[in-house]
Structure formats: C-alpha cells, structure tokens
Structure 1
Amino acid sequence: MAMKVKEVADLVGISVRTLHHYDEIGLLSPKEITESGYRLYSDDNLEVLQQILFFRELGFPLKQIKEIIHSPSFDRQEALELHRTMLLDKRRQLDQMINTIEKTIQHSKGEIQMSQKEKFAGFDFSHNPYEQEARERWGDNAVDDANAKLGKLSKSEQAAMGERMNQIYFKLAALRHSSPQSVEAQAAIQEWFDFLNEMGSYSLDAFKGLGQMYIDDVRFTKNIDNFGDGLALFMRDAMAYYADTHK
C-alpha cells in the first residue's frame, strides 16, 4: 500500500524535509505524485530508503550512495551482507570501548588496576576524516590556519568558543521551521559565518560548500541534527542563500 511522505517520515523517524531533499537530488523519488501534489511511496521505495539509511549510518556521503544504488551492477543482497559486516566491525569497536569505560569505573573505585594501554583500548585516532575532507575541499592553508588559531587559545578560551558555537546552533535550531531566507535566519547564519572566520579563513564559496557537506556527510548531519531534527538541511539552505547573495 502506498504511503504519503508524512507517513514515511513518521515510520522511519526522519524529517519530511529530508525526504523532499532525497527527491530533489534524485536519490529517492516517490513512485507517484498525485494530481493534488501528494508524494506516494511504494514498498520498493521503502526498500531503497532502508538501503540509503544503512549506508548513511555507515558514514557514506549522499553522492556516493546515489552512485551505488543507481548503478546497474548494484546487488541488494550483496549490499545487505556488506552492511552486516561493517556494522559488526563497528559493534566490536563499541563493545571494546564500553568494556574500557566499565574497567575505568572499577579502576576509579579502586577495585582493579589498569595499565596505561588498557585505558585507551578501543579508541582509533589513526586519522581525522573531517580534517582530511576539509583539506581535500579547501586546501591545506585553510585547515592549518584554523588549527593554528585554535592551538593558541587557552583551555578556558577554547571552552568559551565551544559555548558560543553551541549558542549559535541553538539559535538556528529555533528558526529551522521558518524560511532559511528570512531576515532572522540570515542574521543567525551571518553569526555562523563570522564565527567560522574567527577560527579559519572561509570564502563565500567555501562557506557554501561546507553547508553542502552538512547534508552529504552523515557525520555532520547526525551531530548537527542533535540540536534539532532537520537543522543540517536548514543550515545548508541558509548558508547557500547567504553565500549567493553576498557575492
């Protein structure tokens, strides 16, 4: 039985705005749009959506997901087996980190002794995917400048900057159901642009590109949407409009 977009959003736990975005970029289009404009999703559509969300959970960007699931060689069963393997690997790492936390609690109570190596079991900082992606998109200088500025701040100054960042996110989250082109939204996104340029050097094009990454990269989307469902997409639209109108 076909489902309307709001029904699908409620079933899955994502926003209607997200489903509209998937349709706009050709990632997931409803089987039918009625004369009155209702999007109707079929059982096949829901199977594709499940695949998309599995890939998103594993950190695949939307552009890559689209290429994968629309490839003539795409095999759903093979993809499910891949999801299972990757999620099992992820679970093993999480289980190890949970075990480290439990042992650390016992250690802090004096119940057991931990070696220095045991205290960091499960962590994997072999690379920073955010930094690597930023370098690929905007070059080493922008990233190095940002790192240098942050490195000069004291711990209290870094904490204050983190608090400022959160306040901007909260302000934008409160506006996310309004138009991203509204005066209020653009004033808040101006604060975000100014804040980012205190840390680094972001051109208008780089600012717009960063906003797109908030949607293309599930890591950004999940972190930003912790402040409010759909905030990442709202910020993407507000940042794009800001960049386009200030050139």
Structure 2
Amino acid sequence: MPDVTDADGLTVGQVASRLGVTVRALHHWDEIALARPSLRTAAGYRLYTTGDLERLHRIVVYREIGLGLEAIRAILDDPTVDVPDALRAQRAGVAERIDRLQQLSAGLDRMIDAHERGLVLTAEQQTAIFGPRWDPDWPAQARQRYGDTAQWRHYAERSASRGPEEWRAIADVVVGFERALGDAMEAGVAPGSPEADRLVEWHREIFASYFPLTRQMQVCLGRKCEADPGFAAHYDGIRAGLATWFRQIIDASARAHGIDPDTATWQ
C-alpha cells in the first residue's frame, strides 16, 4: 500500500460514522481480509478509498439482512456463487425465525394472561370443564388475594402451558380424588391409617399440578377446607362431615412426619 496524506482518503472513524458501524467492526473486517483499506498514511493509519466504501456499503447491506461474514465474502468474491439462490436461502431462514418469534410472542401473551387471570380459558370453557357450580370470577379473585405469592407465580406458569384438555384431565382427577375421599370416610377409614395417608399423599400430588405443596401448607389447606364456608359446603356436599374428616387425616399425616398441626404455617 502506498503512503499518502490524510486528504487522499477517509479515516476509520470517518467511515464508521458514515456507514453507521463501529470502528471495532472495521478493524475486524480488515483483520479477516473481508474489507481492507487500500491506503495508509505515512504514520501507518488506515485510509479508505471510494472503491473501499463501495465494498463496505455492500457488506453493511448484506449484514443487515442477516448474512454471516463468510457468506458475504462468498457473494462478493466467488464468481460461482448464485446470489439470488443465496438470498432465497437467507429469506427461508428469516421466515423460520419470524415463525419462531411469532410463537414466542404468542407464548408471552399466554404467560401474561395466565399471570393476570389465572386460567387461560373462556368463561364457557371453565364452566364446561369444572361444572355448573364453578364461578369464572374465582380465578380473578384468587389473583387479587394471592397474586404476589410464589405459589401464584408457579400456578400461572403451569396454567400458561395448559389448554382445555389438560385442565379437563386435572378436573377429572380431582373428581376421582374427592369421590375416593368420601368413600373412605363412609367406610370408616381412620385418620393416621395407611389408607388415609395414601389419600393425603394423593392430595399433595394433585396440588403439584398447581404449585408445590409442602406438608405444612397442606395442613393450612386442611384448616381452610373445614373453616371456610365455601370450601366446607363443597366437601360436606360430597359427604356430610367430610370437611372435618379431611382436615383430620391431613393433621394425622402431618404428625407422623413431625409437624404439629396447631403451629403449622404456610411455608
């Protein structure tokens, strides 16, 4: 490269500003022989000519549509490369990325909806799945009460990935559990017995569909099932006295695991 004065070309900084790229990028393209300045000053500074700028413009254009540097080098320097075919391949790749981004956007919408509403289901779908006694306003009410808890976040994250069929399967499991609960009480199963303990474990497994349930938390739920009028009416509607018996088998199981039900807290 001949030695020239600064007036004979553009410096790296000037080119970077003109093309909207970084000086670091220009240095890198020089190092890999993708776009080398044709001139240097007597002090060794790089200078870019008009021809250099034309090549750089093409590099910037191809880079902006997503081509890698080696693909750009092939298009610029390899006469055997079919440029339209290379661009069609790039377009196909872009279309795939757009599709993935659209799926990601839809997933984000569902996650936001789940965190805000609890169930990503219409009111009609909720009633069809959970029965005519279900109130579609319950998830929103639960969010108002528990929306700042870790359990609500777990629940929302699981809810976002579930459609009607998944919720229907969970609802069927819950119905089966409650039927077994009522049958066990009616059959005289004693709290603390192996059969009662299996029901308690089954209850914890079901709740894992919503959020992880510790034994202490389960004790708190057992209390709520007995003390809350709405919950008590639900369980006692299955079998008279079931709400209290359910709380009793949970307490007995907790004691067997070293937990005092009287002092258990939501943790």
TM class by shorter chain equals 0.3 to 0.5
Name which one, 1 or 2, has greater alpha-carbon Rg.
2
Q: Which has the higher contact order (CA 8 A, sep 6+)?
A: 1
The two structures have a TM-score, normalised by structure 1, of 0.44
The two structures have a TM-score, normalised by structure 2, of 0.41
